[in-house]
């Protein structure tokens, strides 16, 4: 078994869609980034890549490459999953958390879990997504940005 952790943060800005876990969420601001800035999926991808010491998303999807401008992070997660499968591994489980003062995430968590599970070819019960606020403290508490953390375990499925 291999284990990896991931962390990501993006600034909230006007005139951007807020996309988390592949779900577009109604909000007055969205996350700034080269891709769709899906901070949750970015943390999950970094956790998966880290478990096999394959670098981070910046290495695989650099923000200097125009082909990733506005990229759908769920599609990038599918690529990461194909990469680890090609090395003989699969995701055993993911535990993740979104840290945001607003908006409320609870109505969207199930769809986020479904999207991530589908992208990694896993059962939904292998994907945990939670959300918390920081009680008005720090940049997330001040509604300046959203961050996410993830941990995953990978299991070997063949002898590659």
Annotation-wise, does 104 bind a ligand? yes
Annotation-wise, does 66 bind a ligand? no
State the SS3 of the chain.
CEEEEEEEEEEEECCCCEEECCEEECCCCEECCCCCCCHHHHHHHHHHHHHCCCCCHHHHCCCCCHHHCCCCHHHHHHHHHHHHHHCCEEEEEEEEEEECCCCCCHHHHHHHHHHHHHHCCCCHHHEEEEEECCCCCHHHHCCCEEEEEEEEEEEECCCC
Annotation-wise, does 118 bind a ligand? no
Annotation-wise, does 125 bind a ligand? no
Annotation-wise, does 105 bind a ligand? yes
Annotation-wise, does 65 bind a ligand? yes
Annotation-wise, does 144 bind a ligand? no
Annotation-wise, does 79 bind a ligand? no
Annotation-wise, does 57 bind a ligand? yes
Annotation-wise, does 158 bind a ligand? no
Annotation-wise, does 107 bind a ligand? no
Annotation-wise, does 10 bind a ligand? yes
Annotation-wise, does 27 bind a ligand? no
Annotation-wise, does 139 bind a ligand? yes
What residues form the annotated binding site for a divalent metal cation?
A: 8, 10, 42
What residues form the annotated binding site?
A: 8-10, 34-35, 42, 56-58, 61-65, 100-106, 132-135, 139
């Amino acid at each position: 078994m291999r284990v990896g952790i991931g962390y990501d943060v993006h600034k909230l800005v006007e005139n951007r869609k807020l996309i988390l876990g592949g779900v577009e969420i109604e909000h007055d601001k969205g996350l700034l980034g080269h891709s769709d800035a899906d901070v949750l999926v970015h943390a999950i991808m970094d956790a998966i890549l880290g478990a096999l010491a394959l670098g981070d998303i910046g290495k695989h999807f650099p923000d200097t490459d125009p082909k990733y401008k506005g990229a759908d992070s769920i599609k990038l997660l599918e690529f990461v999953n194909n990469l680890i499968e090609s090395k003989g591994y699969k995701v055993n489980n993911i535990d993740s958390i979104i840290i945001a003062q607003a908006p409320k995430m609870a109505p969207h968590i199930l769809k986020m879990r479904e999207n991530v599970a589908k992208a990694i070819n896993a059962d939904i019960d292998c994907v945990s997504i939670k959300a918390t606020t920081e009680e008005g403290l720090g940049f997330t508490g001040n509604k300046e940005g959203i961050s996410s953390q993830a941990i995953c375990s990978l299991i070997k499925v063949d002898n590659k």
